[in-house]
Chain A
Amino acid sequence: MKKHWKSLAERKNGSETPEKQNLPKGNLEQILDIFDNGNEKSQSNRRDFLKLCGYSLAISTVLASCENSVQKAIPYLIKPEEITPGKANYYASSYVNGSEYCSILIKTREGRPIKIEGNDLSSVTYGGTSARVQASILGLYDTSRYKNPLKGDTKISWNELDQSIIQQLNQLKESKERVVLLTPTIYSPSTKAVIEMFLKSYPNVKWVQYDNRSASALIKANEMCFGKAGICDYRFDFADVIVSFDADFLGNWLMPVEHIRQYTKKRKLSDGNTNMSRHIQFESRLSLTGSNADYRIPVKPSEQALLVAQLYNEILKLKGLESYSLNDTSEDIRELAKELWENKGKSLVVAGENDLSIQILINGINYELENYGTTLRIDKQILTKQAIDSDMEQLLTDLNSGKIKALFSYGVNPVYDYLKGEEFAKAIDKVPFSVSLDMAPSETSSRFKYVAPDNHFIESWNDLEPKTSRYSLMQPGIRPLFNTRQFQSTLLAWIGQETDYLKFIKNYWEEKLYPIQTAYPNFTGFWNNSLQQGIFEPKTKSVFDTKFKLDGIGELIDNIANAPKSSGFELQVYESSAMGDGKMANNPWIQELPDPVTKICWDNYLTVSPKQAEEMLLETGDVVELNSGIKLPVYILPGQAYNTAAVALGYGRTNCGVVGKNVGVNVSKLSQFKNDSRVDSSIGVEITKTEEKYELAMTQTHHSMEGRAIVREASLREYLKDPAAGNESHQEYENAGIYKKPNFPNHHWGLVVDLNSCVGCGACSIACQAENNVPVVGKKEVIRAHEMSWIRIDRYFSGSEFNPDVSFQPVMCQHCDNAPCENVCPVAATTHSSEGLNQMIYNRCIGTRYCGNNCPYKVRRFNWFDFTKADSIPNNLHDVAEMTIDLKRMVLNPDVTVRAKGVIEKCSMCVQRIQEGKLNAKIDGRRPRDGEIKTACQQACPAGAIIFGDLNDKDSQVVKETSGKRNYYLLEEIHTLPSVSYLTKIRNKETNNS
């Protein structure tokens, strides 16, 4: 090659110029030398450099053109000892929502609470939960919560707030003006102590407790009859005969979680135990409890008092005591009295109406039946409801008269849920100084001048005593998310005390509770253990001589007997078992949980009887107007007593965040204040049909089993004769296949559902939703049958439409070993595991929905829209409940994939839990123990109706249950070989001919 030179020097010295040799290190052009291991001779030139630049540019252009969102993962600077990424921590705590209580475990992942489980150690709830307990975890991440202390609408600091409130309190104290502290029933001993200290510091403060669903009459009746106010501790598990007058004890009466557990315990049948309670329910609307009863008698609310009186009278007669003259006692009541009398000491009669005379007579009946001390006792009490209705009425009068100069309110929402809510609202506006200590805005708190926001219960410390000497601790699962302070600390701050409430509780426990136990020699041990277990249940012996004495029973019965018979239309308001009192209206999981009986979600509605509907030419969805001006859509409910109607409370919130706002209608004003207590039923109601139509969101629109053997049932008598009663066809199909059944050498996971235990409450559905990140779709999509729940509870009516038998059946993926869904998927996105699970591979799914069509159980769910923000196409989010905002996404379970638009999903039998259990066992070098792995639905079930286990493990409970005669597979005739089975439903009836 011809050599060119640039200068004489270069020409003389050849190509390597001295200048170049002496170039200082670090020159840009030498950057390539690093690839040559510092080889002196290899010298990179400009061309190489430019090549590299060009190459880097091309590569970076290619790489950068694929836009990736930046995700920050920030490691712990100092790793907390107890947190291991990927491993869940559980903290024993307590769920409290007004008078609802549950002992729980908070499951946290990397420090963030994601799930609530029941606490097995509690002898109140026994590890059971309710739908609302399960859903409450979402309330922690509710965006509508107060995030700062407020003065009017402006943000202020806690210091400023404390100063101005203390100043006000002192002024009021000096001027001796009346101040009221309004709370729900406080059954926390330490909180009570705090309040007492507060009252002592400010003697001008009066403390009023208000329960929106009070048990005032029960409390008073006990006081009058036995000289001891309070609510009895009921033991449904000790009762052979249960008679309930409109007490929805499986729904919302006093402590549903506990009562469902007790009730179902007495109704579980096995070869060893063939004893089952008989349950008779008198009620007007078909409640959850009524739909589980063996006999249900539809009566009008106004007829109950007389029936109770007649029953009391008959029992007196049977006992040979002086009875009263009551006419027209029906044969049914005589029979009932006889049956109760035969089971005296082993029966239980309860009534739900908040009516003093009924409750007194019920006490009389239980007393004469010698049930006190066995199925109920007055010395041990349920403490979650203590408020007396007349206190509230008095408060309203005082507020109206302007005597009260300041109002402090915590945890109650009377403007919304008190029967004179509107009047209350006006009264609050008149109070010159008002402070709300609520967690989230409500119709009441938004009227207050100051807001001192409370923590969510998952951020709080507390102690509780829901039942006599059943103590339980509440410990936080996370620090407060917002600038909030728990109610107790706030009160402590206002009396100039240290605000550390945990310290306060500890001191209280050391002083009051530590001495009554003997197991621990020092307080630290006692405290740590109680905190770890979440409960402290000292054995206390109480001697209480239950003596029933009351004058004037005769007069009372006369009044009932002589009361004019109401012939008109009667209306009852009730709490729906999903929504409850409406405090959780902003919780989309609860809104989307269908009512167990009507299967309607996202609304309240007026239930009317089929006969009424025929007379008035009403159809489900027609809007009617009550004479109180309220307009409601109608639902024709089989079993609703003729000439009665019922409507659920808890809807129609107007100030609660975007989810629950204006969903349904507020019917609180339909309760009445009568004889010093709130009464839920009213007579003289008229309804008129309007021309309007309203669409209700129903998850089930067909109510008959069409004579198919879907829920198999028998009467107890038939069952005793033949345990396979009602299940005769099972044998026929059991070995009908011509091929060998598949064999699973290691594990074969299975699930059995006891239809005799399942009461249909729906806790499992919400637990599943929380565990498996099941999306919320909203009312509109539920109407279009697009709901996503992985476990649904099918409800069927059978028999007469005026008083049908009801069957509940939880249906989830049946994990068929010969699954119709698996062989039809073109891309093999759903396959069978070596452990008998039917698996979904979301990444592989292209969404042909062929599997869903071919599933005979219709349990497969399709992501119709982008509900979760997991879709790759922008601007198509369908999120009606803010479920995809960052705060609410904190509730997602990191072990479960969030599914994208266009894929099928379904129950995985909580495969992530199975995997966790297997890994734990593997680390310990053992097989997983029976009962160690629990699915979310099983864990949540207060009735213990769902049992999960290994079908290959001969000693497991699931094998024990499935090898019984009651076991059957759903649609076993089509030979899908499900891993989920059902146990027949047994009704304690003479015949089962419906």
Chain B
Amino acid sequence: MYVSPIREPLITGKKTYQQITDEISAPIEGKAGKAWYVGITITIAALFFGLAMMGWTIWQGIGTWGLNKTIGWGWGITNFVWWVGIGHAGTFISAILLLFRQKWRTSINRSAEAMTLFAVMCAGLFPLIHMGRPLLAFFVFPYPNTRGLWVNFNSPLLWDVFAISTYFSVSLLFWYVGLIPDIGTIRDKVKSKFKKAVYGFLSFGWTGSARHWSRHETMSLVLAGLAAPLVLSVHSIVSADFATSVIPGWHTTIFPPYFVSGAIFSGFAMVLTLLIITRKVLNLESYITVGHVESMNKIIIATGSIVGIAYITELFIAWYSGVEYEQYAFLNRATGPYWWAYAIMMTCNVISPQLLWFKKLRRNLAFTFVLSIFINIGMWFERFVIIVTSLHRDYLPSSWSMYSPTIVEVGIFIGTLGLFFTCFLLFIRVFPVIAIAEVKAVMKSSGEKFTNKDENELS
């Protein structure tokens, strides 16, 4: 296949296949460094703090949160939407970019998918614990029962249940199918009998035969086809939680595309946050190159601009509709008591990504890292703005009220951050962070070794 000589290589450093295997599986074979232990101690502590706060919530009631008669959802649902959003990058990268034959995805898809799974796990916790009676959460499933009870298929919250669980299962499956050849590789490399047995079991008897490869490729393609629409549907459905309601600021038909692009926006930001550190710590700079970062930044600027246009469209439509409640809701967002949240959202999500039009900044790792954190914060505030500022002043001024979170809500959020990073830290120690087999597959076309050779031959 012809590759343009000016296209920069995706794998730098003239690697051999053996080198690739060794370098990527190094963290699994070697001993963990001090930093890893420090990291996991902190994340597990955060996780336990969160668990304690969840226990307190379930025991004492939702009254331990800062919610009230006017504002029924606060940090809990904000975090839910935020995590679901973050969970969009992995599947987007692995499914949609696979279908579009984007080779650069091979270096980042594994970790992005893992991140997706962990984010969706964190997200799934919130609908559960925000319930007044979480012990009865099974009521949301349409299981057969003698009492003739059935769920309400009109409710977007029920659609959420199916959307999230389907998304999680498909993502998990996709991720695991992709992992199988690599697990086979690890199985062959590890020395200890126990590890061999475990990886042997997990590899499902992978031998690397042509038939296995053929099946694997077919399966990946089928799953990619299945997962691609899910990327779009999950956040559309989450947005329906708001869009189908009557509350000014929620009742907005623009929400599905706006939420999906926002989700990919925040997902890529989180991937960048994680990978910029990971590539450094695990010495994977030659696989996750500045070029990769730039590609992701391009997606960020695209989705960020869509989000920005959506924000402005909302404002325009509020004015154009002539509905006084709608107009007030948006005026209140921008100038009401929560103006600062709106300002943070606007700065982080609309203004800051526009800096990426400069190539220098796009390729600057430190800048990208800071920006990714900004976007994570901005997208969190976007959900906070939508949920809280819409609710706190809706139709009847007599019920207007204010909201601030309690330590319990903050603690649960910290707990999910703990869960997320604990899972990620464990992940980098047991599975290859980069899809070894897939990287090898693009070596010939995009590896520096081969592209350079081509160049030499030409000249």
- Please tell me if A845 contacts chain B, counting CB pairs below 8 Å: yes
- Interface size grouping (class) on chain B: 35 or more
- Please tell me if B139 contacts chain A, counting CB pairs below 8 Å: yes
Contact A823 B61 (CB under 8 A): no
Please measure, in the bound complex, the distance between the C-alpha atom of A878 and the C-alpha atom of B399, giving whole angstroms.
Answer: 24
Contact B246 A826 (CB under 8 A): no
Q: Which of A708, A857, A863, A976 contacts B397 (CB 8 A)?
A: A708
Known: A865-B61, A876-B61. A794 touches B398 (CB 8 A): yes
Contact B396 A794 (CB under 8 A): yes
Q: Which of B61, B70, B154, B397 contacts A706 (CB 8 A)?
A: B397
A residues in contact with B131, CB < 8 Å? 846-848, 902
Contact B69 A858 (CB under 8 A): yes
Contact B68 A786 (CB under 8 A): yes
Contact A786 B69 (CB under 8 A): yes
- Please tell me if A25 contacts chain B, counting CB pairs below 8 Å: no
In whole Å, how far is B412's beta carbon from the nearest beta carbon of chain A?
16
Please measure, in the bound complex, the distance between the C-alpha atom of A715 and the C-alpha atom of B391, giving whole angstroms.
Answer: 34
Stretch binding the partner chain, chosen from B144-152, B304-312, B442-450: B144-152
Q: Which of A826, A856, A861, A862 contacts B155 (CB 8 A)?
A: A826
In whole Å, how far is B77's beta carbon from the nearest beta carbon of chain A?
9
Which chain B residue lies CB-closest to A789?
Answer: B69
Which chain A residue lies CB-closest to B241?
Answer: A850
Which chain A residue lies CB-closest to B132?
Answer: A847
A residues in contact with B161, CB < 8 Å? 826
Which chain B residue lies CB-closest to A820?
Answer: B246
In whole Å, how far is A392's beta carbon from the nearest beta carbon of chain B?
43
B residues in contact with A846, CB < 8 Å? 131-134, 136-137, 139-140
- Interface size grouping (class) on chain A: 35 or more
Contact A863 B398 (CB under 8 A): no
Please measure, in the bound complex, the distance between the C-alpha atom of A811 and the C-alpha atom of B244, giving whole angstroms.
Answer: 24
Contact B246 A864 (CB under 8 A): no
Quick one: CB contact mask for A808-819 with B, threshold 8 Å, 1 for yes? 010100000000
In whole Å, how far is B94's beta carbon from the nearest beta carbon of chain A?
30
Quick one: CB contact mask for B42-68 with A, threshold 8 Å, 1 for yes? 000000000000000011111100111
Contact A828 B152 (CB under 8 A): yes
Stretch binding the partner chain, chosen from A324-332, A362-370, A696-704, A743-751: A696-704
Please measure, in the bound complex, the distance between the C-alpha atom of A794 and the C-alpha atom of B399, giving whole angstroms.
Answer: 9
Please measure, in the bound complex, the distance between the C-alpha atom of A729 and the C-alpha atom of B137, giving whole angstroms.
Answer: 44
Contact A850 B155 (CB under 8 A): yes
- Please tell me if B218 contacts chain A, counting CB pairs below 8 Å: no
Which chain A residue lies CB-closest to B56?
Answer: A876
A residues in contact with B139, CB < 8 Å? 827, 844, 846
Please measure, in the bound complex, the distance between the C-alpha atom of A861 and the C-alpha atom of B399, giving whole angstroms.
Answer: 12
Contact B63 A786 (CB under 8 A): yes
Contact A901 B397 (CB under 8 A): no
Number of A-B contacts (CB under 8 A): 173
- Please tell me if B245 contacts chain A, counting CB pairs below 8 Å: yes
Q: Which of B134, B158, B401 contacts A701 (CB 8 A)?
A: B401
- Please tell me if B400 contacts chain A, counting CB pairs below 8 Å: yes
In whole Å, how far is B141's beta carbon from the nearest beta carbon of chain A?
10
Contact B132 A902 (CB under 8 A): yes
Interface centre among A820, A825, A858, A860 (most CB of B within 10 A): A858
Contact A849 B397 (CB under 8 A): no
Please measure, in the bound complex, the distance between the C-alpha atom of A836 and the C-alpha atom of B245, giving whole angstroms.
Answer: 21
Please measure, in the bound complex, the distance between the C-alpha atom of A354 and the C-alpha atom of B140, giving whole angstroms.
Answer: 64
Which chain A residue lies CB-closest to B66?
Answer: A784
Known: A826-B140, A849-B73. A856 touches B247 (CB 8 A): yes
Q: Which of A701, A852, A857, A876 contacts B395 (CB 8 A)?
A: A857
Please measure, in the bound complex, the distance between the C-alpha atom of A827 and the C-alpha atom of B161, giving whole angstroms.
Answer: 11
Which chain A residue lies CB-closest to B138?
Answer: A846
From 292 to 320 in chain B, residues with beta carbon under 8 angstroms from any chain A beta carbon are none
- Please tell me if B267 contacts chain A, counting CB pairs below 8 Å: no
Which chain A residue lies CB-closest to B62?
Answer: A864
- Please tell me if A398 contacts chain B, counting CB pairs below 8 Å: no
- Please tell me if A224 contacts chain B, counting CB pairs below 8 Å: no
Contact B396 A903 (CB under 8 A): no
- Please tell me if B200 contacts chain A, counting CB pairs below 8 Å: no
Known: A701-B400, A857-B395. A876 touches B60 (CB 8 A): yes
In whole Å, how far is B146's beta carbon from the nearest beta carbon of chain A?
15
- Please tell me if B328 contacts chain A, counting CB pairs below 8 Å: yes
In whole Å, how far is A796's beta carbon from the nearest beta carbon of chain B?
7
- Please tell me if B182 contacts chain A, counting CB pairs below 8 Å: no
Known: A827-B152, A902-B132. A857 touches B245 (CB 8 A): no
A residues in contact with B61, CB < 8 Å? 863-866, 871, 876, 878, 901-902
Contact B62 A902 (CB under 8 A): yes
B residues in contact with A795, CB < 8 Å? 398
- Please tell me if B282 contacts chain A, counting CB pairs below 8 Å: no
Contact B396 A853 (CB under 8 A): no
Contact A827 B69 (CB under 8 A): no
In whole Å, how far is A66's beta carbon from the nearest beta carbon of chain B?
16
Which chain B residue lies CB-closest to A599?
Answer: B398
- Please tell me if A785 contacts chain B, counting CB pairs below 8 Å: yes
- Please tell me if B156 contacts chain A, counting CB pairs below 8 Å: yes
- Please tell me if B157 contacts chain A, counting CB pairs below 8 Å: yes
Quick one: CB contact mask for B310-344 with A, threshold 8 Å, 1 for yes? 00000000000000110010000000000000000
Please measure, in the bound complex, the distance between the C-alpha atom of A700 and the C-alpha atom of B324, giving whole angstroms.
Answer: 22
Please measure, in the bound complex, the distance between the C-alpha atom of A265 and the C-alpha atom of B132, giving whole angstroms.
Answer: 45
Contact A796 B72 (CB under 8 A): no
Given contacts A785-B70, A828-B150, A901-B132, 17 further A-B contacts (CB under 8 A): A707-B324, A710-B396, A794-B398, A795-B398, A823-B152, A826-B155, A846-B136, A848-B157, A850-B72, A853-B73, A858-B69, A858-B394, A866-B61, A872-B135, A902-B61, A904-B132, A976-B246
Closest 8 pairs between A and B when the two form their complex, measured CB to CB: A847-B132, A902-B132, A864-B63, A849-B72, A785-B68, A794-B398, A858-B399, A828-B152
A interface residue numbers (CB < 8 A to B) = 700-708, 710, 781, 784-787, 792, 794-796, 809, 811, 820, 823-828, 844-850, 852-854, 856-858, 860-866, 871-873, 876, 878, 900-904, 970-971, 974, 976
Q: List 29 A-B contacts (CB under 8 A).
A: A700-B399, A702-B398, A703-B397, A708-B324, A708-B325, A785-B70, A796-B397, A809-B398, A824-B155, A824-B156, A828-B152, A846-B131, A846-B139, A846-B140, A850-B241, A852-B69, A852-B72, A854-B245, A854-B246, A856-B396, A858-B69, A858-B70, A864-B63, A873-B59, A878-B63, A901-B133, A903-B132, A904-B132, A971-B395
